[in-house]
Chain A
Amino acid sequence: QQQVKQSPQSLIVQKGGIPIINCAYENTAFDYFPWYQQFPGKGPALLIAIRPDVSEKKEGRFTISFNKSAKQFSLHIMDSQPGDSATYFCAPCSGTASKLTFGTGTRLQVTL
């Protein structure tokens, strides 16, 4: 899992802020770039994912930005809410979407 690095490790933002979580990878064979959201006591759940043929994808308040040359992709959460407080994992993979390589996680806290 050393080939996937997330930053920051933890993040505190106020309600309405825009937290940004970054993921850097080494394996150039990766062709599927998802973000997973995990609440305490629950398993991870797919939040949003992107393929390398586009540089940005938006779903509701969540946006992925992808920079192929830098081998990085980011998660942006617009108008963050206390309910977004969770741990976020990037989990890029290659070939099949099931062969995930999870990052170390970013613990996000959204305060009132």
Chain B
Amino acid sequence: EAGVAQSPRYKIIEKRQSVAFWCNPISGHATLYWYQQILGQGPKLLIQFQNNGVVDDSQLPKDRFSAERLKGVDSTLKIQPAKLEDSAVYLCASSGRNEKLFFGSGTQLSVL
């Protein structure tokens, strides 16, 4: 089966600019996650969707980060405006009924 698809693979922006990441989960997976992985650290959950509803966004900096999953399939994560400390890899993951998470390869964001 196809894995979790993410784009773009890399993104370089200047601080205060906006950026968006896209994720296409594994077909049939109802749950979708966005994680932030700062260099040298483990991934940190930003937001979890169940179908098109938000389950957990307690660690999402809502003043600058937003995410949506309008039709319960693809999802986009947006940062506006970006800060230097947002430089990280943004990982999307999905899970089905067995709750096993499958991660995409991520989008590496550099904020200059």
A contact set with B: CB distance below 8 Å: 1, 4, 41-46, 89, 91, 96-100, 102-105
Contact = CB atoms under 8 A, between A and B. Distances in A.
A63 B89 CA distance: 29
- Dominant SS at the A interface? loop
Interface residues of B, number: 23
B45 A100 contact: yes
A1 B103 contact: no
A97 B100 contact: yes
B91 A46 contact: no
Contacts of B98: 97
5 contacts: A43-B91, A46-B101, A96-B99, A100-B45, A104-B41
B48 to A, nearest CB: 7
B105 interface: yes
A98 B31 contact: yes
B43 A46 contact: no
Nearest to B3: A43
Contact of B105 (A42, A46, A96, A102): A42
